[in-house]
């Protein structure tokens, strides 16, 4: 399995509109430090799946018949806004696997175009052919799933947009070793957020989950500024994610 982080930013992105902090200015001066909407591309064999659809250039990145499906974590705009343009395309329908959120976002359900929404159920593993996926309920302001992807002897968990993890989710993660976890770490230490982990909360979860490798993502400009100023040491198996970062699990 191969996972590429396409975006690693919180809802406002980095640089944040109008902000003159050191992290935002660095991102303007050096585009490699910019953070796009939190999303990723999962490749398993010859199949390609998008994890969240907040990027606004999906039609350019993924020509017709190059996406085998989209997994949505939830229906907040920064995770689905790219669908509003993509839906009016032509060609085969694109399966969009998502939480059973009856509200969705705006008129996506009413006017789906080429998007075929398929609600998944929490903790119900589905066989996708050459891998399995289990939706994991996360703790957020809207019905939200993380996803556990498993191929033969390999496991990747994608857990953005969550405040801590429930014991039930931790139990699922502990049923086998995790090769890679991508985990919400939105704010600096001790900065309380109702819907997202701070970096110290995320690191505590990484220590509890004990994956081979952890990418910390959904990062705000406040955390980037703190990282720039403090340059903290992280656990050996944890990295601050960057856009276009690649994780390969063989």
pLDDT digits (tens, 9 = 90+) for 229-239: 999 999 999 99
Buried b / exposed e over 148-164, threshold 16 CB at 10 Å, is bbbbeebbbbbbbbbbe
> Do 69 and 92 meet the contact criterion of CB atoms below 8 Å apart?
no
What domains sit in the chain, N to C, each tagged with a CATH number?
Answer: 2-242 (3.60.15.10)
**Coil, helix or strand for 50?**
strand
Q: What does DSSP say about strands 94-98 and 69-71: parallel, antiparallel, or unpaired?
A: parallel
CA dihedral defined by 143, 181, 196, 108, rounded to 10 degrees? -40
Rounded Cα distance, 216 and 162, in Å = 12
| In the chain, alpha helices (H) | 22-29, 58-61, 77-80, 83-86, 167-173, 199-209, 221-230
Q: Give pLDDT tens digits for 88-135.
A: 999 899 999 999 999 999 999 999 999 999 999 999 999 999 999 999
**In the block, residue with structure tokens 């591309």:** 41
Residue 248 has pLDDT above 90, yes or no: no
What are the CA-CA distances from residue 21 to residues 83, 186, 237 (Å)?
31, 17, 29
**Mutual angle of helices 221-230 and 22-29, in 10-degree steps:** 90
User: How much is the pTM?
Assistant: 0.96
Judge whether 104 and 79 are in contact, CB under 8 Å: no
Specify the 3-state DSSP secondary structure of 227: helix
Measured distance CA(67)–CA(221) in Å, rounded: 31
What confidence tens digit (pLDDT) does each residue in 181-219 have? 999 999 999 888 989 999 999 999 999 999 999 999 999
List Cα–Cα distances, 214 to 30, 73, 203, in angstroms.
25, 18, 9
What is the DSSP-derived secondary structure letter of residue 161?
S
Range with the poorest average pLDDT among 26-30, 98-102, 111-115, 174-178:
174-178
């Amino acid at each position: 399995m191969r996972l590429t982080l396409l975006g690693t930013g919180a809802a406002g992105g980095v640089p944040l509109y109008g902000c003159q902090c050191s992290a935002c200015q660095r991102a303007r001066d050096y585009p490699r430090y910019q953070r796009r909407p939190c999303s990723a591309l999962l490749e398993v064999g010859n199949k390609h799946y998008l994890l969240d659809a907040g990027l606004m250039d999906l039609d350019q990145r993924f020509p017709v018949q190059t996406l085998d499906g989209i997994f949505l974590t939830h229906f907040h705009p920064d995770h689905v806004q790219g669908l509003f343009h993509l839906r009016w395309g032509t060609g085969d329908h694109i399966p969009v696997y998502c939480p059973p959120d009856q509200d969705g976002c705006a008129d996506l359900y009413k006017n789906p175009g080429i998007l075929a929404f398929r609600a998944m159920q929490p903790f119900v593993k589905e066989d996708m052919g050459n891998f399995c996926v289990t939706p994991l309920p996360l703790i957020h302001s809207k019905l939200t799933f993380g996803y556990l992807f498993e191929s033969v002897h390999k496991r990747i968990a994608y857990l953005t947009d969550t405040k801590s993890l429930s014991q039930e989710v931790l139990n699922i993660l502990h049923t086998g070793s995790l090769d890679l976890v991508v985990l919400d770490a939105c704010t600096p230490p001790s900065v309380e957020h109702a819907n997202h982990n701070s970096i110290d909360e995320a690191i505590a979860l990484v220590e509890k989950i004990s994956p081979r490798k952890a990418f910390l993502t959904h990062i705000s400009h406040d955390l980037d500024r703190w990282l720039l100023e403090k340059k903290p040491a992280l656990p050996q198996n944890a990295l601050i994610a960057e856009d276009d970062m690649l994780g390969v699990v063989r």
